[in-house]
Chains A and B, each alone.
Chain A
Amino acid sequence: MSRPALSTRSGRGQPDAQRDDTLLAIGMLAPAVLFIVLLVGLPFGLAIYYSLHDVTTGGTTPRWVGLGNFASLLGDNTFQTSLRNSFVFTFSTLIAVLVLATIQAELLMREFRGKWLVRFLILLPWTAPVALGLIGWLWMFDSVFSPIDWLLRQVGLLGSPGAPLGALPNLYWLGDKTLAMVSVVLVNVWRLLPLATVIVLAGLNSIPRDVIEQSRIDRAGYLRRLFDITLPMLSPILLIAILFTFVFTFGDMISIFILTRGGPANTTQVLPSMAFFTGILGGNLGRGAAVALFMLPALAGMSALLLRLVRRSEVTT
């Protein structure tokens, strides 16, 4: 079968490779897109529907309440606390993570022996399943057995009369209102730091060496280099790191659920955890959905803002 004649399709009219390509493109894309639209779009629409109704898991027919759920939430104490906490926790985490990630990334730029092991350990908080890593912190923060408290007692900062942190043998990491919030932020920072670090590290590594060397030849000092060259070239990456840190912290309920259950007395509730307790454990789907939807403006807004900034700040070499 050598030299086959030019093939033409019969019974299909004019052959059109472009049209066939388009059909293939749609065909290959459709399953995934359909899946996402159905299984993300639909529940999303449902969430909005629930938030506008009085509906419980008890199976009673939903009753239209319009913005009633939202209105009643705005006056609710727990909700106000959750809203405030969501922002306070997230921004505190964000700042701490950014600063620490930059330092850690600079450290990891250098080669040293055993780096692979250090890298594995530093990544653990992110690579280990969230809930399981948090179990470790539950123990670290335990009101009786906390290893941190033990260490503090050993060095005399705690547990004896006149000790700077108090005479009681334990700090109530999860039981004291202020400390509980600090603990939550601390754990969030612990968890997000590895991700932010590798992102920043990738950014640092992507700065072309000849640009750095040129700046050295031009006798730019460390700080000048940092602000004039490194940070601007790094800004798209930093913005991505900020985006991820924000989204994962703001929408996270796992740390609250495992560590404090929102306590003590609802002082560490955040929007997602409150949504869970109200909607799933409390059975009030309408109210729970309304709480969850309050997250949307912040998430969408931040994402849009950060992505726009990334586009504007892109540096072409």
Chain B
Amino acid sequence: MTTGARRTPGQALGRVGFYLGVALFTVFAALPFYVMLITAFKRNNELFDPTTNPFWFSQPPTLEHLQLLFGDTLFLRWLLNSFMVGGLVVVITLLLAVPAAYSLARLAGSWGEALGIGIFLTYLVPPTLLFLPFAKVVAALGLQNTLWALVVVYPTFTVPFCTWLLMGFFKGIPRDIEEQAMVDGYNRFNAFRRAVLPLAVPGILTVVVFAFTLSTSEFVYALTFVQSSAQKTVSIGVPTELVRGDVFRWGPLLAGALLASIPVAVLYTLVIDQFVAGLTAVAGE
């Protein structure tokens, strides 16, 4: 930033333009969430009056929507469901992805590279392609309308994604460390376990967060497999259950949407840089 004594009009205009641009983009991105925030605390008579200012309060804010959300709906149950599913999916993902990523990064040589990209590409297969046969498979396994269906199906996209992400992490650990451990008396697997794995902890944490946020945000499979209200995750529960026919309970609906969004958003923001770093690496090949 220039701190010169005098700025040219061009520079001053440039700065104004810069801040204006930033402001516009920020407003564009955050406006729906802001409105959700306000509306979550708006009294119903004000909320349902189209002449009042939707961006601020005319009457004092109220907690009634939150009370309804937590007291009169299954919101807490849905949060719990999402949490449990997320937790189990994280465990399954780690069990499958960590060894696979190491194998691809270190042991598979030149075809490891190609296989890694292939695995990553399965992440790009949209759920809308597979959800129909999945519905049948899930029914055949007797898992329809349970959260277990989600626990089984979600790793199909978390594992490819996380394997590829972890590949990058393992590649970043110098080969010297494993080779030193092997020379020091450990076989390949133990060298991995005792010398490499501790160094991959940041990567593993990233994978944990990704697997969790990806599961919690998932919509299509959850919508397809789970019908009963008490079994829903928050991602489908809020959009489908807080609507009675054509009547939207806007207050609790927006409150619930916002409340469930923010923690996931915070978590995802923490790890998104790793994701992008991985993508730049793909681009560099």
Enumerate chain A interface residues (CB-CB to B < 8 A).
20-22, 24-29, 31-33, 35-36, 39-40, 42-44, 46-47, 49-50, 57, 100, 103-104, 107, 110-112, 118-140, 144-145, 147, 149-150, 169-170, 190, 193-194, 198-199, 201-203, 206, 236-237, 239-240, 243-244, 247-248, 250-254, 257-258, 271-273, 275-276, 279-280, 285, 288-289, 292-293, 295-296, 299, 303, 310-311, 314
User: In the complex, which residues 236-285 of chain B have their Cβ closer than 8 Å to any Cβ of chain A?
Assistant: 236, 238-239, 248, 250, 253-254, 257-258, 260-262, 264-266, 268-269, 272-273, 276-277, 279-280, 282-285
Q: Which residues of B contact A295 (CB under 8 A)?
A: 126, 128-129
Q: B231 at interface (Cβ–Cβ under 8 A)?
A: no
Q: Which residues of B contact A32 (CB under 8 A)?
A: 96-97, 99-100, 119, 159, 163
Q: Which residues of B contact A140 (CB under 8 A)?
A: 31-32, 35
In the complex, what distance in Å separates the CA atom of A279 from the CA atom of B127?
Answer: 14
Decide: A194 and B29 in contact? CB cutoff 8 A: yes
In the complex, what distance in Å separates the CA atom of A289 from the CA atom of B279?
Answer: 31
Contact among A27, A29, A292 for B128, CB-based, below 8 A: A292
Decide: A129 and B261 in contact? CB cutoff 8 A: yes
Contact among A124, A145, A206 for B280, CB-based, below 8 A: A206
Decide: B277 and A202 in contact? CB cutoff 8 A: yes
Number of A-B contacts defined by CB within 8 Å? 289
Decide: A199 and B276 in contact? CB cutoff 8 A: yes
In the complex, the chain B residue whose C-beta lies closest to that of A193 is: B29
In the complex, the chain B residue whose C-beta lies closest to that of A284 is: B132
Given the known A-B contacts A24-B188, A35-B155, A118-B26, are A29 and B126 also in contact in the complex, defined by CB atoms under 8 Å? no
Decide: A147 and B35 in contact? CB cutoff 8 A: yes
Decide: B285 and A311 in contact? CB cutoff 8 A: yes
In the complex, the chain A residue whose C-beta lies closest to that of B268 is: A127
- Smallest beta-carbon distance B182→chain A, Å: 9
Q: Which residues of A contact B236 (CB under 8 A)?
A: 131
Chain B, 78-119, contact with A by CB distance < 8 Å: what is the 0/1 string?
000000000000000001110110111001100000010001
Q: B39 at interface (Cβ–Cβ under 8 A)?
A: yes
Decide: A150 and B53 in contact? CB cutoff 8 A: yes
Decide: B264 and A31 in contact? CB cutoff 8 A: no
The 10 listed contacts between A and B (C-beta, < 8 Å) are A39-B153, A124-B29, A136-B254, A140-B31, A147-B54, A202-B280, A203-B283, A240-B279, A279-B131, A299-B126
Contact among A43, A110, A134, A314 for B133, CB-based, below 8 A: A43
Q: B61 at interface (Cβ–Cβ under 8 A)?
A: no
In the complex, what distance in Å separates the CA atom of A299 from the CA atom of B129?
Answer: 11
Decide: A128 and B261 in contact? CB cutoff 8 A: yes
- Smallest beta-carbon distance B215→chain A, Å: 10
Decide: A43 and B25 in contact? CB cutoff 8 A: no
